[in-house]
Amino acid sequence: MKTIDLRSDTVTQPIDEMRKAMACAEVGDDVYMDDPTVNLLQKKAAELLGKEDALFVMSGTMGNLLSIMSQTHHGDELITGRNNHIITHEVGGLAALCGVMTRLINRPDDMIYPEDIEAAVRPDDIHEPRTVLVCLENALSNGTVVPLEVMQKDYETAKRLGLNVHLDGARLFNAALALNCDVKDIAACADSVMFCLSKGLGAPMGSMVCGSKKFIERVRKNRKRIGGGGRQMGHMAACGLVALDVMTKRLHEDHDNAKYLYEKLMEIPGVHVAGEPQISMVFFSLDADETAFMKTCKEAGILMNPSDKGMYRVVTHVGIEQEDLDVLIQCIRQVL
Ligand SMILES: Cc1ncc(COP(=O)(O)O)c(C=O)c1O
């Protein structure tokens, strides 16, 4: 029986092309900056995003942490959304390791609008911390995409107020596909951008941090400080190159499959779908007992995360076909 893993797009297996590229990669010591495969990946990522430079880091969490660390000092404050990944899923790294305070925007749609930034920025007052950074996210962890116009206005506002902008673009390529724009257009709304080569792009590890040359120099030094300087990293960067060259071109399949699931779910009484999917994530609740649903899924070979307050999340990715989603639909019909 096939295991159908719908928990996340982080569960992807490297495609054959990645496995071959990994084995054959030309490598060197990346702390000395002489790994040709890493250097090529960094050059490609910077060019794709329209930034001066880029750095290969271990994970999205490390990329966000280093981006914040390299644009703040202890005691500074940043503005971000209360449900953004840096707040909810990064183990408090920005407090523990960067020593920054956070001012959280609390909107039902999890977006940040220019007026939120205007209202949250601190005045120049001896009693108050310095606001230095706005941290945006696109696509959002709730599966929605922030419109480009909102990001552009956020960026204009932040710069007018003397703030830098960091973008957590873990699923940047999904966002660009949903917005029907170039990743460059989104990256232009931030001074620093992190995007993941893992997740929908299917690499076994790694994220890119992109920005100005000066910023990347600071990120490289901080990466070494936290023990993230790798040696023959080209074996991993080789998968990143396949991710950029090949996997970015198939992401639409995941979005189409998410839409397929959405349409099927809409036909079933007792299923409440949160909205039409914009990327590869479908959220829904069921008029059915969770334990019974999870058991039915397990017996059919489906891996699902438990619900978040009754809301289930399915993520489509490479290796998930429409027939796999039909198995889920069958389980839902059975349990209802
Ligand atoms: C929006 C967002 N940002 C950052 C990350 C962190 O990435 P990683 O798991 O590689 O640390 C994730 C992971 O799922 C994410 O969804």
User: Is residue 271, in this structure, part of any structural domain at all?
Assistant: yes
CB atoms within 10 A of CB 308: 10
Which residue CA neighbors atom 15 of ligand 1 most closely?
170
85 Cβ below 6 A of ligand 1: yes
Residues 145 and 238 in one domain: yes
Ligand 1 centroid, distance to 92 Cα (angstroms): 14
Say how far apart CA 127 and CA 242 lie, in whole Å.
50
Which residue CA neighbors atom 9 of ligand 1 most closely?
60
User: Is residue 1, in this structure, part of any structural domain at all?
Assistant: no
194 Cβ below 6 A of ligand 1: no
Say how far apart CA 210 and CA 226 lie, in whole Å.
18
**Considering 214, 247, 280, which residue would you say is the last residue of a domain?**
247
Which domain range does residue 260 map to?
Answer: 250-335
Residues 267 and 191 in one domain: no
Q: Which of 280, 289, 275 lies closest to 257 in space, CA to CA? A: 280
User: Is residue 2, in this structure, part of any structural domain at all?
Assistant: no
Residues 218 and 93 in one domain: yes
Ligand 1 centroid, distance to 126 Cα (angstroms): 36
Ligand 1 centroid, distance to 217 Cα (angstroms): 23
196 Cβ below 6 A of ligand 1: yes
User: Is residue 196, in this structure, part of any structural domain at all?
Assistant: yes
Atom of ligand 1 nearest to the CA of 205: 10
Residues 34 and 160 in one domain: yes
137 Cβ below 6 A of ligand 1: yes
Inter-CA distances, 2 with 90, 162, 180, 293, 303, Å: 32, 53, 34, 18, 11
**How many structural domains does the chain have?**
2
Ligand 1 centroid, distance to 157 Cα (angstroms): 26
At 125 the pLDDT is 96
Atom of ligand 1 nearest to the CA of 62: 11
60 Cβ below 6 A of ligand 1: yes
Atom of ligand 1 nearest to the CA of 10: 14
At 35 the pLDDT is 98
Amino acid at the residue 200: G
Residues 235 and 284 in one domain: no
131 Cβ below 6 A of ligand 1: no
Residues 272 and 172 in one domain: no
What burial class does residue 320 get, using C-beta atoms within 10 Å of its C-beta: 0-12 exposed, 13-18 middle, 19+ buried? buried
Phi, psi (degrees; rounded to nearest 5) at 42: -65, -40
Phi, psi (degrees; rounded to nearest 5) at 150: -65, -45
Are residues 57 and 66 in contact, defined by beta-carbon separation less than 8 angstroms?
Answer: yes
At 122 the pLDDT is 98
Residues 306 and 275 in one domain: yes
CATH code at position 151: 3.40.640.10
Residues 197 and 323 in one domain: no
Inter-CA distances, 204 with 14, 59, 99, 104, 152, Å: 6, 10, 30, 32, 32
Ligand 1 centroid, distance to 61 Cα (angstroms): 6
Say how far apart CA 171 and CA 291 lie, in whole Å.
31
Residues 47 and 104 in one domain: yes
255 Cβ below 6 A of ligand 1: no
At 6 the pLDDT is 98
Ligand 1 centroid, distance to 40 Cα (angstroms): 24
CATH code at position 307: 3.90.1150.10
Are residues 66 and 223 in contact, defined by beta-carbon separation less than 8 angstroms?
Answer: yes
Residues 280 and 314 in one domain: yes
Atom of ligand 1 nearest to the CA of 141: 1
Atom of ligand 1 nearest to the CA of 63: 11
pLDDT in tens, the chain (336 residues): 899 999 999 999 999 999 999 999 999 999 999 999 999 999 999 999 999 999 999 999 999 999 999 999 999 999 999 999 999 999 999 999 999 999 999 999 999 999 999 999 999 999 999 999 999 999 999 999 999 999 999 999 999 999 999 999 999 999 999 999 999 999 999 999 999 999 999 999 999 999 999 999 999 999 999 999 999 999 999 999 999 999 999 999 999 999 999 999 999 999 999 999 999 999 999 999 999 999 999 999 999 999 999 999 999 999 999 999 999 999 999 999
User: Is residue 290, in this structure, part of any structural domain at all?
Assistant: yes
This prediction has a pTM of 0.97
